[in-house]
Amino acid sequence: MRPPEESPLWLVRHEPREVASIASDGGRLDPGEAEAIQLALDLHAELLLIDESAGRRVARRLLIPHTGVLGVLAAAKHRGLIPAVAPLSEKLRSTGFWISGDLMARVVKDLGEVSQGRSTYFIGLCGVGAQVEIVRRR
């Protein structure tokens, strides 16, 4: 087994304090989500990156500002760092990252990634490829 590589100088590791109160949210949070939420509280984080719906629910309840991967991609598009979110979200989906069809359709529409007529995006719904057609109302 290889020894762990040294961390970059800019990386600071923090250990969360007790996560029992976070983890007790009906048993729906996995340990990583509970630790991320607890760290956000401990460090008074400006933003928590979390995608799981149970974790987002807890973050909302605790008034922790949060976003998911699609929110990060949308911010990158708004800043001109990427031209479009839909192709990147498709790449994510092809790796097994699950994105609900409703959420993807809403994000694509909100970002104006719909042509004048009809645009078709393939979105994963529970692991099954489903075709979602988005029609811009005129």
Lowest mean pLDDT among 26-30, 120-124, 125-129: 125-129
User: Is the pLDDT score of 22 beyond 90?
Assistant: no
Spatial distance between the Cα atoms of 123 and 106, rounded to a whole number of angstroms: 12
User: Is the pLDDT score of 53 beyond 70?
Assistant: yes
Q: Quick count: other Cβ atoms within 10 Å of Cβ 2?
A: 4
Please report how many Cα atoms fall inside a 13 Å half-sphere around the Cα of residue 85, on the Cβ side.
25
Q: What is the structure's pLDDT at 11?
A: 82
Tokens of 63: 């008034």
Asked if residue 131 and residue 88 are part of one domain, the reply reads yes
Q: Structurally, how many domains does the chain consist of?
A: 2
Q: What is the structure's pLDDT at 122?
A: 41
Instruction: Kindly state whether residue 13 falls inside one of the protein's structural domains.
Output: no
Asked if residue 62 and residue 90 are part of one domain, the reply reads no
Instruction: Kindly state whether residue 4 falls inside one of the protein's structural domains.
Output: no
Lowest mean pLDDT among 8-17, 24-33, 62-71, 85-94: 24-33
The reply to whether the predicted model has a pTM over 0.85 is no
Q: What is the structure's pLDDT at 24?
A: 56
The average confidence (pLDDT) of the chain is: 77
Instruction: Kindly state whether residue 48 falls inside one of the protein's structural domains.
Output: yes
Residue ending a domain, choose from 67, 102, 127: 67
Domain that holds residue 56: 20-67
Instruction: Kindly state whether residue 1 falls inside one of the protein's structural domains.
Output: no
Provide the pLDDT confidence category of residue 119 given band limits of 50, 70 and 90.
very low
Instruction: Kindly state whether residue 39 falls inside one of the protein's structural domains.
Output: yes
Asked if residue 101 and residue 63 are part of one domain, the reply reads no
User: Is the pLDDT score of 35 beyond 80?
Assistant: yes
Average pLDDT over residues 85-111: 89
